[in-house]
Chain A
Amino acid sequence: MIAFWVLSPLIVLAALGVVLMRRAVHSALLLAVVMISLAVLYLTLDAPFLFAVQIIVYTGAILMLFLFVLMLVGVDAADSTVETIRGQRLLSILGGLVMGTLLVLVVAQISLGTMTGMGVANAGGNIEGLADLLFSRYVLAFEATAALLITAALGAMLLAHRERLDAKEGQRAMAARRMQEYATTGRHLGPLPSPGVYARHNAVDTPALLPDGTPARDSVSRVLAARGTVRSAPALADDIEDVQRTLDGVRGISGGSGGAADTSAGAGHNTENPETRPQGAGHPEGDE
């Protein structure tokens, strides 16, 4: 029972989080918390087989499926707060509260008596007992389940399959199209610029800087831009000023004592670390 009283507040909080979190990924992770805690509760209820199935099927398969679809779909899928039906949110929360209190009160009123416990039922082993039931009394339902799973797999393949309406673009056709685009719009022929080449670091969320200091839009993934995790332009401007300041400092040092700047040239590549920045004299650009 200790496990129950420890886990039940956790489960309720995580379930509330599933409903309240704005980002779907956070909801999915909190749902994992709910499911694993429920699996442990199954263990306290003498259902070791369901404990394993809950973790393998729910947390392993279903949640992974959710996360895969979120990766494919929910790039910028923060919920809109606009209500389609006026007052619907308030009404549904009220209705939920009423239903919850009603159910909890009614269930708490019922006296179920002492529980029988699984001692007799699990005497020959939980899995063996379940198998006995599944392959005798519930064998028809079991077969129907097989049909259901086959149908679901076929249906998912059918629904997720996209019919190709035109022929796939070959390498020659792509080259011709790119040349055509270059001729008409002047679009760059080569590959897209890699992120952060001219900025201070080469992380994928840092756009490359063009020679005039503006970020190159093409250098970061469109997905990252939609998620809003790309380092913003003000931060980049700070970076540029930072580099300028460092360079000025280097000029000042090398103006005073040229030899000192040369000896520390090998160690000064770390411009990330603010402590080493004043003596970060290792920039070859700084000496020129």
Chain B
Amino acid sequence: MDDVTPYIVLSTILFTIGSVGVLTRRNAIVVFMCVELMLNACNLALVAFAKQHGNLDGQVAAFFVMVVAAAEVVVGLAIIMTIFRTRRSASVDDASLLKY
């Protein structure tokens, strides 16, 4: 085990999959899950680099990312529920009123 390159490669792959998911999926909840996937990929990179450099700052950063992700999910899902309540749909294409 020389370096953390495999971990970083896995992290980039996860990030790519997440971003493609955000672009292609229409269901707002699945889009959110893909955002979580991207955040998790970043966390993996942070923790791997923490091990590479031998200090704990990367892990602290990953911890903060988790906290922010939790707050983001709470607010985001509440917004999705509000949209669903008024439009009876969780599709991101239906919430297009600002366009007009």
A: which residues have CB within 8 A of B? 1, 4, 8, 11-12, 15-16, 18-19, 24, 27-28, 31, 34-35, 38, 41-42, 45-47, 49-50, 53-54, 57-58, 61-62, 65-66, 69-70, 72-74, 77, 79-80, 84, 88-89, 92-93, 95-96, 99-100, 103-104, 107-108, 110-122, 126, 129-130, 133-134, 138, 141, 145, 148-149, 151-153, 155-156, 159-160, 162
Q: Which of B5-51 contact A (CB under 8 A)?
A: 5-10, 12-21, 23-27, 29-30, 32-34, 36-37, 40, 43-44, 47-48, 50-51
| Partner pick for A103 among B12, B18, B48, CB 8 A cutoff | B12
| Partner pick for A38 among B17, B30, B40, CB 8 A cutoff | B40
| A261: min CB distance to chain B, Å | 54
Q: Is the CB of B16 within 8 A of A100?
A: yes
Q: Is the CB of A160 within 8 A of B78?
A: yes
A80 vs B92: C-alpha distance in the bound complex, in angstroms?
11
B: which residues have CB within 8 A of A? 1-10, 12-21, 23-27, 29-30, 32-34, 36-37, 40, 43-44, 47-48, 50-57, 59-60, 62-64, 66-75, 77-82, 84-85, 90-91, 93
| Partner pick for B36 among A31, A69, A160, CB 8 A cutoff | A31
A151 vs B72: C-alpha distance in the bound complex, in angstroms?
11
Q: Is the CB of B3 within 8 A of A159?
A: no
A84 vs B99: C-alpha distance in the bound complex, in angstroms?
14
Known: A19-B24, A70-B29, A108-B5. A148 touches B68 (CB 8 A): yes
20 A-B interface contacts by CB (under 8 A): A4-B10, A8-B10, A18-B33, A19-B24, A24-B29, A31-B33, A38-B44, A47-B51, A49-B63, A50-B59, A58-B66, A69-B29, A72-B84, A73-B81, A95-B20, A120-B54, A121-B55, A126-B56, A159-B79, A159-B81
Report the nearest A residue to B25, measured CB to CB: A79
Q: Is the CB of B67 within 8 A of A145?
A: yes
Contact partners of B2 in chain A: CB under 8 A:
114-115
Report the nearest A residue to B21, measured CB to CB: A19
B-side binding surface: helix, strand, loop or mixed? helix
A-side binding surface: helix, strand, loop or mixed? helix
Known: A15-B14, A108-B9. A49 touches B59 (CB 8 A): yes
Contact partners of B52 in chain A: CB under 8 A:
112, 115-116
Q: Is the CB of A162 within 8 A of B7?
A: no
Q: Is the CB of A69 within 8 A of B23?
A: no
Known: A50-B47, A96-B23, A133-B60. A19 touches B34 (CB 8 A): yes
Contact partners of B71 in chain A: CB under 8 A:
148-149, 151-152
| Partner pick for A155 among B29, B44, B54, B78, CB 8 A cutoff | B78
Report the nearest A residue to B83, measured CB to CB: A73
| A127: min CB distance to chain B, Å | 10
8 closest residue pairs by CB, A with B: A116-B54, A96-B20, A92-B23, A100-B16, A152-B71, A159-B78, A19-B21, A103-B12
